[in-house]
Chain A
Amino acid sequence: MTSFAETGPRTAVTEGIRVDKVNPRARLLKNIRAVVVIILALVGLIPVFAMGITAFKSRADVVAVPPKLLFEPTLEGFVFLLTDRSQLRGTTLAEAQENAEGGEPIGIFDRIALQNGQRINGPSDFILRLRNSLIIAGGSTLLSVTLGLFAAYAFSRFEIPGKDDLLFFILSTRMLPAVVVAVPLFLMYRQLGLHDTHFGMILLYTVFNLSLTVWLLKGFIDEIPREYEEAALVDGYTRLQAFFKIVLPQAATGVAATTVFSFIFAWNEYAFALMLTSNNARTAPPAIATMLGRGGIEWSAIAAGTLAFLIPVIFITFALRKHLLRGVTFGAVRQ
């Protein structure tokens, strides 16, 4: 810390060779670099942008060739996504339209549904799916980060027989492709009654994430000098007290980064969710995909679903961004 503070300005600014603004050639190069980076960023954002506008397109605009960049935005996609509707025919449709024109107060969603000749019966299953996703991703993240933290601390600080082998073994669970274990898992879950339960999914994602969290967090804890805890031990604290009072606050950055990574994994997971859930614990990713089925492809509904699905991830990443940037680059900078 000391040397960091004292040499701060010097090391921070002189490390890169020829960082100057003055050399005209260097300045030109720097501008070219900036332009390239911006273009790359824009290219990367195209799919997100396409998805974003598709969510607000009408059925006709979605399939227009060439794709429309200017269109009249509509919430049709969201209505299809969030509601369960029934098609109105003949007199019922005419009646409903008449009522609407007659000034009978109806919500914006009803109005949009009516334009497509439909009536809203109630909320769709998608809300439930989102809730399941939150419970399962949140629960498994909490569990895997907590367990991972203790395991990582132990691996970092204690003499454990066969430590390296154990660590390798933990990582090896990441090495096999998930589909290989899909069928055995399915049968196991059937037998144990874990099929289509929240607990079953939380357990599964926790196991999958644990290898990642142990390894990531071990890296972060390795970076925290032991002297901190040892000072606390000598000062009259137990190891557990020292862990909570001293290690945890300093590992906050690593915990944040690890939380984001494991949440994103559990949140996005598709294959197992499709296979091991049917209704009760079904999460959003398979639900969005199965929307493809009903009466033609509802592209705008899928886009709206994906957009809604992105929001929690964006929210968590944004909330933890301060830690995240430091966390992701932590090891690299020290090398």
Chain B
Amino acid sequence: MATIQLRQVEKLFGEFQAVKPMDLTIQSGEFVVLLGPSGCGKTTTLRMISGLETVTHGDIYLDDRLVTWLHPSERDIAFVFQFFALYPHMSVRQNIVFPLQAVGASRETIERRLSEVVDLLRIAHLLPLKPGKLSGGDKQRVALARALVRRPAAFLMDEPLGALDAEFRESMRAEIKQLHIEQEATTVYVTHDQVEAMAMGDRIVVMSDAEIQQVGTPAEVYYDPANLFVAQFIGSPGMNLAPGTVAGDLLSLPGGNNYRIAPEWQETLSNTQNGAADVLLGFRPEAAEIHVAGELSGEVYATELHGAYKMLHVSLQEEHDVVHIRSDRQADYPIGAGVRFDLKPDMVRFFNPHTEAALLAKRPPPVSRREVVFT
């Protein structure tokens, strides 16, 4: 398996900058997800790695081999497309062995590899069928088999679950991840769905506006987003953001709320805000705890049952500045009712509203409470 390196890779379409110069190293055996909204450059990046798209500037290395100008077939990579790209006139068997025939593999090799991938993906019963007869999930299994059968140095996947029903998506997500764990194949996976990225990625590359916003593990991008974009894009709903003004050790928030700033943040907030004392307070929905004597208050704007829990949407003032609070499902909150809540201090973050970057505490907050420990 191979390491993939992008060095100052850039893509221009005429005047339009589809990918700004970017550096990225994907370790051998790693599952890296390129995540971002449509038009952010993630698919273009993937297609440049595959060779389906040429690069404008910069270089791409597979291990130590410079592949920037190589044809896709010379790069030893496999590509899995969103719409499967199975050849409709061939049977499943023919589809799967097609890449092996292309390189002139021997009959024995073909049979051996075929039976390996077929067992792995449990699709033996599909072999004689034409792709048109298959369900979405099975189509994507066959497409994966066709990618696996070549034993390529890396897998590139472009939203492979995007065309599946919700029903299949959840189980295929687990299947692909399981496959990765067994094969330990270097994988670059493109998606716009943050749930998919979090669930699957060893590391997530969050992209927006043709640029990398943050590279990190799921825990890093979730708990310590580098900027406002990542904070809002990751999570469902995204991180709550409330505008506030720093005054001493108090942060005044909409609706006459005051939040006492924890000691480890005080220095950061007074230093970075030299004069302009406005800051964005960020916290995840589960960081708020409803409590009769809570320090912050608001009015219920809407409530949503999500099965296992309830999501409260609370406006800090007059139907504006709505924050989302995760609460247990037994509680009943009519629209317009007042609620009070506290914030878990280790899950509070701050952002500079002008640069949109996250502020860093002088002393990092304790991390132990983030993980629910059990054995």
Interface, chain A (partner B; CB < 8 A)? 6-10, 13-14, 17-20, 22-23, 26
Given the complex of chains A and B, what is the CA–CA distance between A26 and B56 in angstroms?
13
Given the complex of chains A and B, what is the CA–CA distance between A9 and B54 in angstroms?
17
Question: Chain A binding site: helix, strand, loop or mixed by DSSP?
Answer: helix
Given the complex of chains A and B, what is the CA–CA distance between A10 and B16 in angstroms?
10
Give chain B nearest CB distance to A38 CB in angstroms.
21
Quick one: which of B14, B47, B55, B69 contacts A14, CB cutoff 8 A? B47
CB-defined contacts of B14 to chain A, threshold 8 Å: 13
Return the chain B residue nearest A24 by Cβ.
B69
Return the chain A residue nearest B41 by Cβ.
A10
Q: Are the C-beta atoms of B43 and A9 separated by less than 8 Å? A: no
Interface residues on B, range: 10 to 19
- With contact pairs A14-B44, A14-B47, A23-B69 given, residues A9 and B16 touching in the complex (Cβ less than 8 Å): yes
Question: Chain B binding site: helix, strand, loop or mixed by DSSP?
Answer: loop
CB-defined contacts of A19 to chain B, threshold 8 Å: 13
Q: Are the C-beta atoms of B54 and A23 separated by less than 8 Å? A: yes
- With contact pairs A6-B39, A9-B16, A13-B13 given, residues A22 and B56 touching in the complex (Cβ less than 8 Å): yes
Given the complex of chains A and B, what is the CA–CA distance between A7 and B54 in angstroms?
20
Q: Are the C-beta atoms of B39 and A13 separated by less than 8 Å? A: no
CB-defined contacts of B241 to chain A, threshold 8 Å: none
Q: Are the C-beta atoms of B39 and A9 separated by less than 8 Å? A: yes
Q: Are the C-beta atoms of B39 and A20 separated by less than 8 Å? A: no
Interface, chain B (partner A; CB < 8 A)? 13-14, 16, 18, 38-39, 43-44, 47, 52-56, 69
Quick one: which of A7, A9, A14 contacts B53, CB cutoff 8 A? A14
Cross-chain pairs A/B with CB under 8 angstroms, 29 sampled: A6-B38, A6-B39, A7-B38, A7-B39, A9-B13, A9-B16, A9-B18, A9-B39, A10-B39, A10-B43, A10-B44, A13-B13, A13-B14, A13-B16, A13-B18, A14-B43, A14-B47, A14-B53, A17-B52, A18-B52, A18-B53, A18-B54, A19-B13, A20-B53, A20-B56, A22-B55, A22-B56, A23-B54, A23-B69
Q: Are the C-beta atoms of A22 and B54 separated by less than 8 Å? A: yes
Given the complex of chains A and B, what is the CA–CA distance between A10 and B207 in angstroms?
14
Return the chain A residue nearest B56 by Cβ.
A22
- Given contact pairs A7-B38, A9-B13, A23-B69, enumerate 12 new A-B contacts (beta carbons under 8 Å): A6-B38, A8-B39, A9-B16, A10-B18, A10-B43, A14-B13, A14-B18, A14-B43, A14-B44, A14-B53, A20-B53, A20-B54
Give chain A nearest CB distance to B41 CB in angstroms.
8
Give chain B nearest CB distance to A249 CB in angstroms.
29
CB-defined contacts of A26 to chain B, threshold 8 Å: 54
Smallest CB-CB A-B distances: 4 pairs = A20-B54, A13-B13, A7-B38, A10-B39
Given the complex of chains A and B, what is the CA–CA distance between A308 and B218 in angstroms?
73
Q: Are the C-beta atoms of A10 and B53 separated by less than 8 Å? A: no
Given the complex of chains A and B, what is the CA–CA distance between A20 and B44 in angstroms?
13
**B13, B16, B43, B47: which has the most chain A beta carbons within 10 Å?**
B13
Given the complex of chains A and B, what is the CA–CA distance between A13 and B19 in angstroms?
13
Give chain A nearest CB distance to B159 CB in angstroms.
12
Given the complex of chains A and B, what is the CA–CA distance between A22 and B10 in angstroms?
12
CB-defined contacts of A9 to chain B, threshold 8 Å: 13, 16, 18, 39
Given the complex of chains A and B, what is the CA–CA distance between A182 and B302 in angstroms?
76
Given the complex of chains A and B, what is the CA–CA distance between A292 and B25 in angstroms?
79
CB-defined contacts of A18 to chain B, threshold 8 Å: 52-54
Given the complex of chains A and B, what is the CA–CA distance between A17 and B44 in angstroms?
11
Return the chain B residue nearest A3 by Cβ.
B38
Give chain A nearest CB distance to B316 CB in angstroms.
31
Given the complex of chains A and B, what is the CA–CA distance between A7 and B18 in angstroms?
12
CB-defined contacts of B53 to chain A, threshold 8 Å: 14, 17-18, 20
Given the complex of chains A and B, what is the CA–CA distance between A18 and B44 in angstroms?
12
Given the complex of chains A and B, what is the CA–CA distance between A20 and B69 in angstroms?
12
**B14, B39, B55: which has the most chain A beta carbons within 10 Å?**
B39
